[in-house]
Amino acid sequence: ASAEIASDARVAEPAGSAEFAEAVLAGLAATPRSIPSRFLYDETGSALFEEITRLDEYYPTRTEIALLRAHGDEIARCVAEVDTLVEFGSGSSRKTRLLIEALDGLETYVPIDVSETFLAEAAEGLEADFDGLTVTPVVGDFTEPRDLEGVRADRPLGFFSGSTIGNLSHAEARRFLENAAELLGAEGSFLIGVDLQKSLDILIPAYDDPDGVTAAFSLNLLARINRELDGDFDTDRFAHRALYNAREGRIEIYLESLADQTVHVLGQRFTFAEGERIHTENSHKYTVEGFRGLASEAGWKPARVWTDEADLFSLHLLQA
Protein backbone atom coordinates (compact mmCIF):
# COMPACT_ATOMS: atom_id res chain seq x y z
CA ALA A 1 0.00 0.00 0.00
CA SER A 2 2.94 2.34 0.38
CA ALA A 3 3.14 3.05 -3.36
CA GLU A 4 -0.48 4.15 -3.18
CA ILE A 5 0.32 6.55 -0.34
CA ALA A 6 3.12 8.06 -2.35
CA SER A 7 0.70 9.14 -5.06
CA ASP A 8 -2.46 9.78 -3.03
CA ALA A 9 -1.62 11.15 0.37
CA ARG A 10 1.42 13.26 -0.39
CA VAL A 11 1.15 16.93 -1.15
CA ALA A 12 3.80 18.90 -2.94
CA GLU A 13 6.55 20.44 -0.82
CA PRO A 14 5.84 24.19 -0.79
CA ALA A 15 8.02 26.11 -3.21
CA GLY A 16 10.48 26.98 -0.47
CA SER A 17 12.04 30.24 -1.54
CA ALA A 18 8.91 31.84 -3.07
CA GLU A 19 6.98 31.21 0.13
CA PHE A 20 9.87 32.53 2.25
CA ALA A 21 10.24 35.64 0.06
CA GLU A 22 6.54 36.41 0.26
CA ALA A 23 6.38 35.95 4.04
CA VAL A 24 9.48 38.07 4.68
CA LEU A 25 8.44 40.96 2.42
CA ALA A 26 4.93 40.99 3.90
CA GLY A 27 6.21 40.58 7.46
CA LEU A 28 8.74 43.42 7.20
CA ALA A 29 6.15 45.73 5.65
CA ALA A 30 3.57 45.01 8.38
CA THR A 31 3.06 46.93 11.64
CA PRO A 32 4.14 45.44 13.99
CA ARG A 33 6.75 43.51 12.02
CA SER A 34 6.73 39.73 12.26
CA ILE A 35 8.03 36.67 10.40
CA PRO A 36 6.48 33.20 11.01
CA SER A 37 8.64 31.00 13.26
CA ARG A 38 8.69 28.06 10.84
CA PHE A 39 11.29 29.96 8.76
CA LEU A 40 13.80 29.69 11.63
CA TYR A 41 14.43 26.07 10.67
CA ASP A 42 16.66 26.05 7.60
CA GLU A 43 19.68 23.74 7.75
CA THR A 44 21.69 26.13 9.97
CA GLY A 45 18.66 26.92 12.14
CA SER A 46 17.87 23.24 12.65
CA ALA A 47 21.46 22.54 13.67
CA LEU A 48 21.36 25.47 16.13
CA PHE A 49 18.03 24.25 17.54
CA GLU A 50 19.64 20.82 18.06
CA GLU A 51 22.35 22.64 20.04
CA ILE A 52 19.67 24.47 22.09
CA THR A 53 18.13 21.13 23.09
CA ARG A 54 21.47 20.15 24.67
CA LEU A 55 21.82 23.34 26.77
CA ASP A 56 21.57 23.02 30.56
CA GLU A 57 19.13 25.95 30.55
CA TYR A 58 16.81 24.34 27.96
CA TYR A 59 14.85 21.88 30.11
CA PRO A 60 12.04 20.77 27.70
CA THR A 61 13.87 18.17 25.60
CA ARG A 62 15.58 16.24 28.39
CA THR A 63 12.48 16.42 30.61
CA GLU A 64 10.19 15.05 27.91
CA ILE A 65 12.68 12.25 27.15
CA ALA A 66 12.80 11.39 30.87
CA LEU A 67 8.97 11.27 30.96
CA LEU A 68 8.88 8.92 27.95
CA ARG A 69 11.52 6.72 29.58
CA ALA A 70 9.76 6.63 32.94
CA HIS A 71 6.20 6.17 31.66
CA GLY A 72 6.53 4.57 28.22
CA ASP A 73 5.25 1.21 29.41
CA GLU A 74 2.28 2.75 31.16
CA ILE A 75 1.49 4.86 28.08
CA ALA A 76 1.63 1.69 25.99
CA ARG A 77 -0.81 -0.06 28.36
CA CYS A 78 -3.22 2.90 28.08
CA VAL A 79 -3.25 2.60 24.29
CA ALA A 80 -3.22 -1.18 23.99
CA GLU A 81 -3.89 -2.44 20.44
CA VAL A 82 -2.45 0.65 18.78
CA ASP A 83 -1.15 -0.45 15.37
CA THR A 84 -0.01 2.84 13.82
CA LEU A 85 2.00 5.75 15.19
CA VAL A 86 1.35 9.05 13.37
CA GLU A 87 3.98 11.66 14.21
CA PHE A 88 3.13 15.31 13.50
CA GLY A 89 6.39 16.87 12.36
CA SER A 90 9.18 14.33 12.28
CA GLY A 91 10.48 15.17 15.71
CA SER A 92 13.57 13.98 17.51
CA SER A 93 14.38 10.39 16.66
CA ARG A 94 15.34 9.69 20.29
CA LYS A 95 11.76 10.34 21.43
CA THR A 96 10.23 8.43 18.53
CA ARG A 97 12.43 5.43 19.22
CA LEU A 98 11.56 5.43 22.92
CA LEU A 99 7.86 5.43 22.09
CA ILE A 100 8.11 2.76 19.37
CA GLU A 101 10.09 0.58 21.77
CA ALA A 102 7.38 0.97 24.41
CA LEU A 103 4.61 0.24 21.87
CA ASP A 104 5.90 -3.28 21.43
CA GLY A 105 4.81 -4.79 18.09
CA LEU A 106 3.82 -1.54 16.36
CA GLU A 107 2.99 -2.18 12.67
CA THR A 108 3.28 1.21 10.99
CA TYR A 109 5.06 4.50 11.66
CA VAL A 110 3.82 7.53 9.70
CA PRO A 111 5.94 10.68 10.11
CA ILE A 112 4.32 13.80 8.59
CA ASP A 113 6.61 16.70 7.70
CA VAL A 114 7.08 19.34 4.98
CA SER A 115 10.76 18.53 4.78
CA GLU A 116 11.77 15.44 2.78
CA THR A 117 15.16 15.66 4.48
CA PHE A 118 13.64 15.44 7.97
CA LEU A 119 11.41 12.58 6.81
CA ALA A 120 14.38 10.66 5.44
CA GLU A 121 16.17 11.18 8.77
CA ALA A 122 13.10 10.09 10.71
CA ALA A 123 12.78 6.89 8.71
CA GLU A 124 16.47 6.10 8.82
CA GLY A 125 17.21 2.76 10.38
CA LEU A 126 13.76 2.33 11.95
CA GLU A 127 12.62 -0.54 9.72
CA ALA A 128 15.97 -2.24 10.25
CA ASP A 129 15.85 -1.80 14.02
CA PHE A 130 12.20 -2.67 14.68
CA ASP A 131 11.11 -6.05 13.39
CA GLY A 132 7.85 -5.93 11.45
CA LEU A 133 7.66 -2.11 11.39
CA THR A 134 6.76 -0.38 8.12
CA VAL A 135 7.60 3.32 7.75
CA THR A 136 5.32 5.33 5.44
CA PRO A 137 6.43 8.97 5.40
CA VAL A 138 3.90 11.61 4.35
CA VAL A 139 5.16 14.91 2.94
CA GLY A 140 2.92 17.76 3.96
CA ASP A 141 2.07 20.50 6.41
CA PHE A 142 0.85 18.68 9.51
CA THR A 143 -1.13 21.73 10.68
CA GLU A 144 -3.44 21.43 7.64
CA PRO A 145 -6.41 19.05 7.57
CA ARG A 146 -5.62 15.90 5.65
CA ASP A 147 -6.46 12.23 5.74
CA LEU A 148 -4.40 9.10 6.04
CA GLU A 149 -5.96 7.71 2.90
CA GLY A 150 -4.07 4.63 1.88
CA VAL A 151 -2.55 4.05 5.31
CA ARG A 152 -4.32 1.16 7.00
CA ALA A 153 -4.70 2.14 10.61
CA ASP A 154 -7.28 0.45 12.82
CA ARG A 155 -6.08 2.15 15.98
CA PRO A 156 -3.77 5.09 15.36
CA LEU A 157 -1.87 6.97 18.04
CA GLY A 158 -0.86 10.54 17.20
CA PHE A 159 2.39 11.93 18.65
CA PHE A 160 3.24 15.62 18.78
CA SER A 161 6.34 16.14 20.89
CA GLY A 162 8.57 18.96 22.07
CA SER A 163 5.80 21.40 22.90
CA THR A 164 5.81 22.44 19.27
CA ILE A 165 2.10 23.10 19.88
CA GLY A 166 3.37 26.07 21.93
CA ASN A 167 4.28 27.90 18.71
CA LEU A 168 0.54 28.10 17.93
CA SER A 169 -1.91 30.58 19.41
CA HIS A 170 -4.70 29.02 21.50
CA ALA A 171 -7.12 29.37 18.57
CA GLU A 172 -4.63 27.76 16.17
CA ALA A 173 -3.86 25.00 18.69
CA ARG A 174 -7.59 24.25 19.05
CA ARG A 175 -7.97 24.07 15.27
CA PHE A 176 -4.91 21.82 15.03
CA LEU A 177 -6.34 19.48 17.69
CA GLU A 178 -9.68 19.38 15.85
CA ASN A 179 -7.93 18.47 12.58
CA ALA A 180 -5.91 15.81 14.35
CA ALA A 181 -9.11 14.36 15.85
CA GLU A 182 -10.61 14.08 12.40
CA LEU A 183 -7.44 12.55 10.97
CA LEU A 184 -7.00 9.98 13.75
CA GLY A 185 -10.67 8.98 13.81
CA ALA A 186 -13.02 7.36 16.31
CA GLU A 187 -10.43 4.80 17.50
CA GLY A 188 -7.65 7.36 17.72
CA SER A 189 -5.62 8.60 20.64
CA PHE A 190 -3.07 11.39 20.86
CA LEU A 191 0.09 11.85 22.94
CA ILE A 192 1.23 15.49 23.16
CA GLY A 193 4.20 17.09 24.91
CA VAL A 194 3.20 20.43 26.43
CA ASP A 195 5.46 22.89 28.23
CA LEU A 196 4.18 24.19 31.57
CA GLN A 197 3.97 27.65 33.11
CA LYS A 198 6.74 28.17 35.62
CA SER A 199 8.97 30.66 37.37
CA LEU A 200 10.68 33.22 35.15
CA ASP A 201 14.04 32.30 36.74
CA ILE A 202 13.82 29.04 34.82
CA LEU A 203 11.83 30.20 31.81
CA ILE A 204 13.85 33.21 30.65
CA PRO A 205 17.31 31.55 30.58
CA ALA A 206 15.78 28.66 28.60
CA TYR A 207 15.05 31.19 25.83
CA ASP A 208 18.02 33.49 26.37
CA ASP A 209 20.98 31.35 27.37
CA PRO A 210 24.26 32.97 28.53
CA ASP A 211 26.25 31.23 25.76
CA GLY A 212 24.12 32.94 23.12
CA VAL A 213 23.07 29.78 21.30
CA THR A 214 19.42 30.89 21.26
CA ALA A 215 20.51 34.36 20.10
CA ALA A 216 22.45 32.74 17.24
CA PHE A 217 19.36 30.65 16.40
CA SER A 218 17.20 33.81 16.21
CA LEU A 219 19.73 35.91 14.32
CA ASN A 220 20.18 33.13 11.77
CA LEU A 221 16.81 34.22 10.39
CA LEU A 222 18.39 37.52 9.28
CA ALA A 223 21.43 35.67 7.93
CA ARG A 224 19.05 33.37 6.03
CA ILE A 225 17.33 36.40 4.52
CA ASN A 226 20.76 37.69 3.46
CA ARG A 227 21.67 34.30 1.94
CA GLU A 228 18.42 33.50 0.18
CA LEU A 229 16.71 36.83 -0.48
CA ASP A 230 19.63 39.08 -1.37
CA GLY A 231 19.35 40.88 1.97
CA ASP A 232 21.89 43.16 3.62
CA PHE A 233 20.99 42.85 7.32
CA ASP A 234 23.95 43.67 9.59
CA THR A 235 23.38 40.92 12.17
CA ASP A 236 25.64 42.76 14.63
CA ARG A 237 23.13 45.61 14.70
CA PHE A 238 20.21 43.40 15.82
CA ALA A 239 19.78 41.64 19.16
CA HIS A 240 17.81 38.61 20.31
CA ARG A 241 15.13 39.45 22.92
CA ALA A 242 13.07 36.89 24.87
CA LEU A 243 10.23 38.33 26.98
CA TYR A 244 7.46 36.69 28.97
CA ASN A 245 3.98 37.96 28.17
CA ALA A 246 2.08 37.06 31.35
CA ARG A 247 -1.32 37.98 29.94
CA GLU A 248 -0.90 35.54 27.02
CA GLY A 249 1.13 33.02 29.05
CA ARG A 250 3.88 32.87 26.48
CA ILE A 251 7.50 33.59 25.70
CA GLU A 252 7.77 36.08 22.85
CA ILE A 253 10.95 36.26 20.81
CA TYR A 254 12.01 39.35 18.89
CA LEU A 255 14.92 40.66 16.87
CA GLU A 256 15.52 44.23 18.00
CA SER A 257 17.28 46.90 15.98
CA LEU A 258 20.24 48.37 17.90
CA ALA A 259 20.37 51.53 15.74
CA ASP A 260 18.43 53.62 13.26
CA GLN A 261 19.18 51.78 10.03
CA THR A 262 18.02 50.90 6.54
CA VAL A 263 17.95 47.34 5.23
CA HIS A 264 17.30 45.97 1.73
CA VAL A 265 15.62 42.67 0.87
CA LEU A 266 14.98 41.67 -2.77
CA GLY A 267 15.47 45.29 -3.79
CA GLN A 268 12.96 46.66 -1.27
CA ARG A 269 13.96 49.18 1.41
CA PHE A 270 13.00 48.84 5.08
CA THR A 271 13.91 51.42 7.70
CA PHE A 272 14.29 50.53 11.37
CA ALA A 273 14.34 52.91 14.30
CA GLU A 274 16.59 52.01 17.21
CA GLY A 275 14.60 49.68 19.48
CA GLU A 276 12.19 48.60 16.74
CA ARG A 277 11.48 44.88 16.70
CA ILE A 278 10.62 41.98 14.43
CA HIS A 279 8.48 39.36 16.21
CA THR A 280 9.82 35.92 15.26
CA GLU A 281 8.33 33.38 17.66
CA ASN A 282 5.80 32.63 20.41
CA SER A 283 6.18 29.74 22.82
CA HIS A 284 2.96 29.25 24.80
CA LYS A 285 3.12 27.73 28.27
CA TYR A 286 0.10 25.92 29.70
CA THR A 287 -1.19 24.74 33.02
CA VAL A 288 -2.18 21.06 33.07
CA GLU A 289 -5.84 22.03 33.49
CA GLY A 290 -5.59 24.73 30.85
CA PHE A 291 -4.35 22.29 28.24
CA ARG A 292 -6.93 19.64 29.16
CA GLY A 293 -9.62 22.30 28.74
CA LEU A 294 -8.33 23.25 25.30
CA ALA A 295 -8.21 19.58 24.25
CA SER A 296 -11.81 19.10 25.44
CA GLU A 297 -12.96 22.12 23.45
CA ALA A 298 -11.36 20.49 20.40
CA GLY A 299 -13.41 17.32 20.93
CA TRP A 300 -10.86 15.12 22.71
CA LYS A 301 -11.31 13.34 26.03
CA PRO A 302 -8.30 14.14 28.21
CA ALA A 303 -7.26 10.76 29.64
CA ARG A 304 -3.90 10.79 31.45
CA VAL A 305 -1.19 13.34 32.19
CA TRP A 306 2.39 12.65 33.21
CA THR A 307 4.60 15.41 34.64
CA ASP A 308 8.10 15.48 36.12
CA GLU A 309 8.74 16.14 39.80
CA ALA A 310 9.51 19.84 39.26
CA ASP A 311 6.40 20.31 37.07
CA LEU A 312 8.49 21.58 34.18
CA PHE A 313 6.81 19.64 31.36
CA SER A 314 3.73 17.52 30.70
CA LEU A 315 2.79 14.59 28.49
CA HIS A 316 -0.96 14.42 27.77
CA LEU A 317 -2.80 11.37 26.53
CA LEU A 318 -6.07 12.24 24.77
CA GLN A 319 -8.72 9.79 23.59
CA ALA A 320 -11.21 10.25 20.75
Residues making contact with ligand AVJ (CB under 6 A): 52, 60, 162-164, 166-167, 207, 214, 217, 281, 283
113 vs 281, beta carbon nearer ligand AVJ: 281
Q: Closer CB to ligand AVJ, residue 163 or residue 314? A: 163
Instruction: Tell me the closest approach of the beta carbon of residue 129 to ligand AVJ, in angstroms.
Output: 26
In this complex, which beta carbon is closest to ligand AVJ, that of residue 34 or of residue 167?
167
Q: How far is the CB of 254 from ligand AVJ (least distance, A)?
A: 12
Question: Based on CB atoms, which residue is closest to ligand AVJ, 245 or 271?
Answer: 245
Q: Which is nearer to ligand AVJ, 140 or 205 (CB)?
A: 205
Q: Is the CB of 49 or the CB of 272 nearer to ligand AVJ?
A: 49
Pairing of strands 156-160, 84-88: parallel
Tell me the angle at which helices 59-78 and 43-53 cross, rounded to the nearest 10 degrees: 80
